[in-house]
Structure formats: C-alpha cells, structure tokens
C-alpha cells in the first residue's frame, strides 16, 4: 500500500502554472475594480464558504481568470454573473436573485420592521401621560 | 387575559427551530453543486489536443460520455478501470483534461489505461466552467443531438457502469 502511494506522489503534484489572470490584476484600474467587486460576490465551488476573491483553490483562480478576461473584453459584470448562474444555478452567487426560494429572505426584514412599528405604536399608546 | 396563548409562542418557535436544526443533523444537506445544463444542449467548444496522435474533444459527436478528469486527481485513477470496462462495452468516451500537461497525461494513460477516443487540453478550466462542472472527476452523458442527459459527479463506480452504458446506448 505504501509503495502505491509513493508511486502516486508525482501525480499529486500539479505541475501546471495558474491561469495568466488568476493572480494578476488587469492593467486598467477601473476594469480591475469592476472585476474585483464581482469576484467578491461569486462563490468558490470547491471551498463553498469562500468567495473566489478570497479563495486560493485552483478552481477559484480559474474563475478569477474567467471574470477578468470577460471584464477586459468589455462584458458587463451582471452578464458574467448570469452566465455562471445559467451553468451552476443561483448557488454560485452570494447576491441571490429574488426567486420562489429566496423571497422570504428579501421580504422578512420589511415584515419584521412593520411588525416592530406596530408593536412600538401599541406600547406608546398604552400609557398616555 | 385574552392573549394568554401568546405566552406559548416563544416555546413553540424554539421547538420549531430545534426541529429544523435536528433535521439538519440527521439528514445533512447535499452540498454537491450540480450543473444547471443537464437537459439542455452541450455548449460548443474548441480545445487543443492533449496528447500526440489523439484528436481533441469537441462539442459535437455521437452519443458518448464526456469525462472531466486530470492526471493529478486520485479518484480519476480509481475510476479508470470502470472507464476501461465502458470502452470494452463499446461506449465512446471523450475527455477534458483539467490543468494538466502532456507528459503527465501520457504517464497517467500508460499506468491506468487509455479509455478515451478524444482528449482536449483545458488548461485554464474554461470548458469545465462552461459545462457547469465543479470538480474532477465528473462524467456527462451526451446524446447524439448534443443534449446532456446526466451529470455523474465523482468517480464512476462498478455499479454505475451498466446504467451509464444503457443511457449512452439509448441516446444513439
């Protein structure tokens, strides 16, 4: 068994360099800022708790490269996000669109605020001076 | 004292919350990210060939399996015998090699067998991302008209072989 692992060791060490734009910023600062803002809202699919901007996984690097290449081509960040959602579902974004599954998330704060106002009004009226 | 039942609201909400958390303990959520493209057409792509003497995988072809793999991936080595079985059953298998080099792939094929009809060199995972694949190995069942019938996440095991072969045969 030990021998088999020793044989596999050279295979475990990936020899390929990271994608060109995985760790390199775009020369245009405005484009880089747009790419960066988008990257912070995209989920790394390997390490699912991190954004691709924070993650050091190889796949996150490839996703950063994809975002930077497309932003450099002039594609809108929203279109890049939609392209990824079409392939991975809304799970890939930390800024989920309103849908049948997510509307309570969006509406609950408003409902709680309204409930709070009603409760506050009630308690202020109860003891008039 | 009309609102006496309101006293029970906190306890009932706690029990409900406890039930939600407990159900997560007994039955953890499936965190596998699946491709949203299953049921739609395989996107077109053009890759350079990975090894000499073997054409590159393209977006078109007969009913087949498209195997996303890498020579550095241990489960890919584990599934190799099953892919060899599928090849022996006459199932065409195309491959997309992720973040790999020609010598490493050649060494991998020499050691574990070569079940592939075509291999594409996807150095920056561009095609992997366009397929909605989130890791290696993954195997897509693609019909002759390009429809993705199924995405198999993880290594192909011995008991998956017959089902995958039947799916490809049915999609000719």
Which of B68, B125, B153 has the most A C-beta neighbours within 10 Å, making it the best mutation to test the interface with A? Answer: B125
Task: Supply the ipTM of this predicted assembly.
Answer: 0.85
Contact at CB, A16 and B123, closer than 8 angstroms? yes
Q: b/e for A45-71, b at 16 or more Cβ within 10 A?
A: bbeeeebbbebeebbbbbbbbbbbbbb
At residue B144 the predicted structure's pLDDT band, cuts being 50, 70 and 90, is very high
Contact at CB, B99 and A63, closer than 8 angstroms? no
Assess contact for A42 and A93: CB atoms under 8 A.
Answer: yes
Mean pLDDT over B97-104 rounds to: 95
What's the CATH number for A12-95?
1.10.8.640
Residue closest to B58 by CA, chosen among B40, B44, B38: B44
Q: Where in chain B are the domains? A: 64-170
DSSP for residue A93? B
Cα distance between residue B105 and residue B172, in whole Å: 29
Assess contact for A12 and B70: CB atoms under 8 A.
Answer: no
Share of chain A above pLDDT 90, in %: 63
B5-60 pLDDT, tens digit per residue, is 889 999 999 999 999 999 999 988 888 899 999 999 999 999 999 999 999 999 99
DSSP B35-81: -TTTTSBPPP-B--BSSTTSPPPBS--SSEEEEEE-TT-HHHHHHHH
Which of B123, B134, B138, B153 has the most A C-beta neighbours within 10 Å, making it the best mutation to test the interface with A? Answer: B134
Mean pLDDT over B72-95 rounds to: 96
Option in B74, B99, B131 nearest A58 (CB)? B99
pLDDT of residue A127: 64
Q: How many angstroms separate the CA of residue B125 from the nearest CA in chain A?
A: 6
Average pLDDT, chain B: 94
pLDDT of residue A101: 83
The answer to whether A86 faces chain B, any CB pair under 8 Å, is: yes
Low-confidence ranges of chain A (pLDDT < 50): 1-12, 14
Option in B31, B72, B129 nearest A14 (CB)? B72
| Token pair 């049921």 in the structure block, residue | B39
E strand or H helix at B93: strand B93-98
What's the CATH number for B64-170?
3.40.30.10
Assess contact for B146 and B63: CB atoms under 8 A.
Answer: no
Contact at CB, A91 and B33, closer than 8 angstroms? yes
Option in A20, A66, A89 nearest B129 (CB)? A66
Contact at CB, B125 and A85, closer than 8 angstroms? no
């Amino acid at each position: 068994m030990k021998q088999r692992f020793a044989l596999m060791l050279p295979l475990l060490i990936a020899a390929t360099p990271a994608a060109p734009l995985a760790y390199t910023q775009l020369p245009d600062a405005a484009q880089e800022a747009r790419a960066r803002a988008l990257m912070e809202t995209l989920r790394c699919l390997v390490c699912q708790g991190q954004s691709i901007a924070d993650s050091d996984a190889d796949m996150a690097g490839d996703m950063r490269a994809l975002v930077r290449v497309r932003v450099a081509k002039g594609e809108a960040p929203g279109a890049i996000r939609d392209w990824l959602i079409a392939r991975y579902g809304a799970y890939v974004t930390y800024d989920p669109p309103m849908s049948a599954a997510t509307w309570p998330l969006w509406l609950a704060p408003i409902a709680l605020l309204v409930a709070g106002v009603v409760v506050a009004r009630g308690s202020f009226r109860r003891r008039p001076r | 004292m009309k609102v006496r039942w309101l006293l029970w609201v906190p306890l009932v909400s706690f029990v409900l919350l406890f039930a939600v958390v407990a159900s997560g303990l007994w039955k953890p959520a499936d965190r596998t990210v699946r491709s949203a493209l299953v049921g739609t057409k395989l996107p077109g792509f053009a890759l350079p060939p990975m090894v000499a003497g073997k054409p590159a995988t393209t977006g078109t072809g007969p009913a087949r399996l498209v195997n996303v793999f890498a020579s550095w991936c241990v489960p890919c080595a584990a599934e190799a015998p099953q892919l060899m079985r599928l090849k022996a059953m006459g199932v065409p298998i195309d491959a997309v090699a992720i973040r790999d080099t020609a010598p490493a792939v050649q060494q991998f094929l020499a050691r574990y067998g070569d079940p592939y009809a075509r291999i594409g060199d996807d150095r920056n995972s561009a095609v992997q991302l366009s397929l909605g694949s989130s890791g290696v190995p993954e195997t897509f069942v693609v019909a002759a008209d390009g429809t993705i019938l199924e995405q198999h996440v993880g290594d192909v095991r011995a008991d998956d072989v017959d089902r995958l072969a039947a799916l490809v045969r049915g999609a000719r």
